[in-house]
Amino acid sequence: MRELNQLQPKNNAPKNFRTQSIEYPVDIIDYKTVKTKDEEMKGFDCDQMHFELIDLLLDNILFKSADMTLEYIQDKHSNQYLLTKARIRIMQKSYDEATIALDELLEKNKDNVEAWIMRGHAYYFGGNMFDSEESFINAIRLQPNLKDQTLQMYLGMVYIKRKAWKDARTVFLKCVKEQTSF
């Protein structure tokens, strides 16, 4: 085949892999002319992206990073922002700041069950049993068929700490009934 010039001539020189250069084609991109996705994003899209990042960070117990990411959110008075801020503050054990954010949210939207439950948790962990009970009861009043075992358990614990034995017994019996009924 070589004699017919259909194959390249054989190179008998030993290959030196240290000095051999490999040519890689490189495309030089002028980023001034290229539109990227982040340039086309609206403020809401950026906020949603940050909220997703915060959820990921909180799932991996990176509270400080989540708190730093929270600063980049533009709409600081949205329900999602205030709930996320309260969630971060509860995980950081800053219960007073969490209740301030939740109170601001509940002024605008009194029917937010998740905010009432989170407020109850913040007050519970902060040691304020009366406000914790009030928050949990408001959540149950808004959704009477709420089957949140954690909420019921914490409400029962509030009653135990307040030495309201009958109320605690009622709540725990309700938990047991819901747990065993299929």
Range with the poorest average pLDDT among 1-15, 62-76, 101-115: 1-15
Residue with more model confidence, 32 or 182: 32
Q: What is the full DSSP assignment across the chain?
A: -TTTTSSPPP--SPP-TTT-------PPP-TTTPPPHHHH--HHHHHHHHHHHHHHHHHTT-HHHHHHHHTT-S-TTSHHHHHHHHHHHHHTT-HHHHHHHHHHHHHH-TT-HHHHHHHHHHHHHHT-HHHHHHHHHHHHHH-TT---HHHHHHHHHHHHHTT-HHHHHHHHHHHHHHHH--
- Give me the CATH topology for the region 76-143: 1.25.40
List, for residues 107-135, the tens digit of each pLDDT value: 999 999 999 999 999 999 999 999 999 99
Q: What is the pTM of this model?
A: 0.71
